[in-house]
Amino acid sequence: MEAGEMIFRLPGRASSPGRFGETTVLRHKEVHHFFFVPFREQPIYSTRAHVFQIDPNTKKNWMPTSKHAVTVSYFYDSTRNVYRIISLDGSKAIINSTITPNMSFTKTSQKFGQWADSRANTVYGLGFSSEHHLAKFADKFAECKEAARLAKEKSLEKMELASSPSQESPADIHSPLTPPVTSDLCRVNGTGDDVTLSDVSPNSELQSDLSPTTQSLGHSPTTNKHWEAELAALKSNNAKLTAALLESTANVKQWKQQLAAYQEEAERLHKRVSELESQSNQANAIKLQKTELNQTIEELEAMLKAKEEEMERLREEIEDAKQLQSQKETLERKLEATGARSRELEEQLASVEHRLESSLEVQENFRKGLKAMLEILDGKIFELTELRDNLAKLIEES
């Protein structure tokens, strides 16, 4: 393979031109897998799980295909009635499994389940974060499996209804007048990975086969109905093959256009990879800056924690100071009340002393007056005594 060469694997069907599945791109000695989900496919359920695949050598050990939990989704193709399980790890498809009626999902533990894909020749395993997620995934697997079975049965019924009166499809009739359908023409249905077109139109081939048929019809009147049925089958087969080839030709043109678009996209991605490679030289510097920033952040967080502790201590001190201030104000109010009471008592004491002094003065004056009265009384008593003595003398003398 030359450098810069690209190979796109475009599986599809003639009935659905332009539908693509997995595309493999090889370029510049590198292999990149791009997984294009067709627009006709819609996601119906998604979850996250760790993806594993069985070891192809031992068939016993599990090999992880993802370093961490990735998204695992169910997709439904409404055109083909096909269900697929798809999981991407970046741009790489690590699971691309089409669900068939023969598949079965097995729970091997409370958080792990597995299923075998015969087309991919491998066994997939999923590790979930909880038993609930595993149960939901298993239920959805059972629903898709049942839907795939019903779709297959309907497809078989449609094929039986579309078959000829002889219960054989025109492609299965191998009479002397029916040309065998080659593998190249069968690939028009899109069952293979490649589409091979014949340069020879089927009209010329079938016309050469129809000529002896027309001659034989003239020589054998007794087998007229049989040959008419064969002729009708050939015409039907011819029409179907012509339509398939025309549709395949249209598909090829559309695929070429899409191939050119994918080449442009691959070139753009290659330029983007080159830019990213040029930017990768700055990764070490960015890592160092990140390490320094982390250290600075840790230091700032430690300083912030110390400041917060100091602030908490200051808050406690402020609360204590507030309590002391409250106590001080209470004591001041009590002291003021005590001072007022003391002044009131002093005033009362002064008033009592004043009253006491007045009372003492009154008592002193009273004592002095009483003494004076006693003196006067003593004088009066003395005078009365003298008067009595005088009266007694007078009485005696008379």
CA pair distance 26, 6, nearest whole angstrom? 5
Q: What is the mean pLDDT of residues 155-161?
A: 79
3-state secondary structure of 151: helix
Nearest partner of 17 among 139, 188, 158, judged by Cα: 188
Nearest partner of 234 among 175, 158, 165, judged by Cα: 175
| pLDDT score recorded for residue 152 | 86
Q: For strand 70-77 and strand 41-54, is the pairing parallel, antiparallel, or unpaired? A: antiparallel
Q: How confident is the model at residue 155 (pLDDT cuts 50, 70, 90)?
A: confident
| pLDDT score recorded for residue 112 | 94
pLDDT in tens, 9-20: 444 443 443 344
CA pair distance 126, 49, nearest whole angstrom? 6
Share of the chain above pLDDT 90, in %: 32
CA angle 143, 145, 146 (to 5 degrees): 65
Per the CB < 8 A criterion, the answer to whether 25 and 10 are in contact is no
pLDDT score of 372 more than 80: yes
Per the CB < 8 A criterion, the answer to whether 75 and 68 are in contact is no
Please state which of the ranges 66-70, 171-175, 365-369 shows the lowest mean pLDDT: 171-175
| pLDDT score recorded for residue 256 | 83
Pick left, alpha or beta for residue 395 (phi over 0 → left; psi -120 to 50 → alpha; otherwise beta).
alpha
Higher pLDDT, 155 or 192: 155
| pLDDT score recorded for residue 250 | 78
| pLDDT score recorded for residue 290 | 85
CA pair distance 245, 201, nearest whole angstrom? 9
pLDDT score of 242 more than 60: yes
pLDDT score of 142 more than 80: yes
Concatenating the DSSP letter of every residue in 214-250 gives HHHHHH-GGGHHHHHHHHHHHHHHHHHHHHHHHHHHH
Share of the chain above pLDDT 70, in %: 74
pLDDT in tens, 36-60: 444 467 889 999 999 999 988 888 8
Per the CB < 8 A criterion, the answer to whether 114 and 123 are in contact is yes
Return the sign of the alpha-carbon dihedral for residues 163, 166, 171, 172.
positive
Residue 219 amino acid letter? H
Q: How confident is the model at residue 281 (pLDDT cuts 50, 70, 90)?
A: low
Average pLDDT of the chain to the nearest whole number: 76
Q: What is the mean pLDDT of residues 172-200?
A: 37
| pLDDT score recorded for residue 188 | 33
CA pair distance 36, 21, nearest whole angstrom? 6
pLDDT score of 163 more than 80: no
Q: How confident is the model at residue 171 (pLDDT cuts 50, 70, 90)?
A: very low
CA pair distance 63, 340, nearest whole angstrom? 94
Please state which of the ranges 89-93, 243-247, 291-295, 329-333 shows the lowest mean pLDDT: 243-247
CA pair distance 135, 226, nearest whole angstrom? 59
Q: What is the mean pLDDT of residues 98-106?
A: 91
Asked whether the whole model's pTM tops 0.75, one would answer no
| pLDDT score recorded for residue 9 | 42
| pLDDT score recorded for residue 120 | 85
Please state which of the ranges 98-107, 219-228, 247-256, 335-344 shows the lowest mean pLDDT: 219-228
Q: For strand 62-64 and strand 70-77, is the pairing parallel, antiparallel, or unpaired? A: unpaired
CA pair distance 47, 142, nearest whole angstrom? 16
Q: Which helix (H) or strand (E) holds 126?
A: strand 122-127
| pLDDT score recorded for residue 48 | 93
| pLDDT score recorded for residue 40 | 63
Q: Which residues contact 125 (CB under 8 A, 6 or more apart)?
A: 51, 52, 53, 54, 62, 108, 112, 113, 114
Q: How confident is the model at residue 221 (pLDDT cuts 50, 70, 90)?
A: low
CA pair distance 268, 145, nearest whole angstrom? 40
Higher pLDDT, 90 or 112: 112
